[in-house]
Amino acid sequence: MNPNKPLGLTPSMGWNSWNTFTWDINEQLVRDVADLFISEGYKDAGYEYIVIDDCWSLKERDENGNLKADPIKFPSGMRALADYVHAKGLKFGMYSCVGTHTCAGYPGSFEHEFQDALLFAEWGVDFLKYDFCFKPRHISGELMYKRMSLALKNCGRDILFSACNWGEDNVYQWIRESGAHMYRSTGDIQDHWDSIKNLTLSQLDKECYTGSFCHNDMDMLVVGMYGGSNNDFIGSKIGGCSDNEYKTHFSLWSIMGSPLMIGCDIRNANQATKDILLNHDLIAINQDIEGRGAYRIKPEPQWFHSDDVFMLVKVLTNGDLAIGFFNLSDSQRELSLQFWDIGLPYASGISLSLYDCWEHKELGVYKERFSPVVPAHDCLVVRAKLVN
């Protein structure tokens, strides 16, 4: 293990094939993504894992019971692909499942956990997403995640363990102890505003469980998809979002400490998409080394606002605060933050110097309160510094 950056210290950042490509994956796509990670600045921004999701294998194991990569999609084999990704200074991720089959019907790792972990290590895998379909009913999911965690931790290679049980069985109550580095807390995201909003609202009271070495994964990002997916459920028939909605989505995932796994086709990313995904001020908040969850505050006057209008405050390592003003409602709102509510009484004489993390500019120094007007489905994220 690299002692300088232990696995899972901060939320993972990378790209995953599922949201856009589902079954239509191949080694050239993975190589293209790796190349773009370098040439377009994703690696410099912190993205490192390139993850192949479901549909990479043959439908049967080989005569020794090993998983086999589909030779049409991956003719050079997984080891060669991992080598390609590693040569770029990036990390390589793959996918399997707790059950007898993956969700798309390929072989799962049930009763092959230790064998598969060794194979993944041999192939040079650095990240394993572990899904929840076809789990035999008589066995608890909790036990299955403990089992694969043990297999991965003893396979001879550092492999980040990304559990994906969609938030079933109150996963947040036991997943940290199981050894997983991140855990999906929700059902599948869709490339649609309502999905982003509902996933967010479902996790607002779970922020106390996320943190270093075991991060609440609110699912892969849909930023930049614009409805472009060959999965009807995720995108193509659903419609996509506006750039402002993608910006709000990225802000929520960043400040709530979710892994940032890109789900769009970065080969065709437009400038708006790149500006969102490569926003270094938001990424710095997400990757803050203490890895604290964010707490929620209702804007004043509290009786006036619905639950989809709120502020999130994340305490950062250097004493700054990241503060997001989120308006997930359908009409413009003023979100008034009283500094008293974040531990800053007027009598202290201390003000906040605010920096806008989307416009990348200083907003000035404020005392006692700050009350931005935020359009519908939009947000303002500031980094606040205490000043005398």
Residue nearest to ligand GAL (CB): 103
* Contacting ligand GAL within 119-178 (CB under 6 A): 131, 133, 164, 166
Query: Shortest approach of ligand GAL to residue 169 CB, angstroms?
Result: 15
Nearer to ligand GAL, 165 or 178 (CB): 165
**Alpha carbon of 155 to those of 91, 158, 218: distances in Å?**
17, 8, 28
Distance of CA 12 to the CA centre of its chain: 7
Please list the active-site residues. 131, 188
Nearer to ligand GAL, 164 or 328 (CB): 164
**E strand spans, the chain:** 13-16, 49-51, 91-97, 127-131, 160-163, 182-184, 215-217, 260-262, 295-297, 309-315, 321-327, 333-334, 337-338, 351-356, 361-366, 369-370, 373-374, 378-387
Q: How many CA atoms lie less than 13 Å away from 164 in the CB half-sphere?
A: 25
Q: Give the Cβ contact number of residue 384 at 10 Å.
A: 24
Question: For ligand GAL, which stretch binds (CB under 6 A), given 100-108, 174-182, 332-340, 354-362?
Answer: 100-108
Residues in the interface with ligand GAL (CB under 6 A) total 11
Query: Shortest approach of ligand GAL to residue 131 CB, angstroms?
Result: 5
Nearer to ligand GAL, 56 or 193 (CB): 56
Nearer to ligand GAL, 152 or 234 (CB): 234
Looking at the DSSP assignment, which residues form a beta bridge with residue 374? 333
* Contacting ligand GAL within 47-66 (CB under 6 A): 53-54
Q: Give the Cβ contact number of residue 233 at 10 Å.
A: 12
* Contacting ligand GAL within 211-250 (CB under 6 A): none
Nearer to ligand GAL, 55 or 382 (CB): 55
Question: For ligand GAL, which stretch binds (CB under 6 A), given 38-46, 101-109, 171-179, 341-349?
Answer: 101-109
Residues near ligand GAL (CB under 6 A): 18, 53-54, 102-104, 131, 133, 164, 166, 188
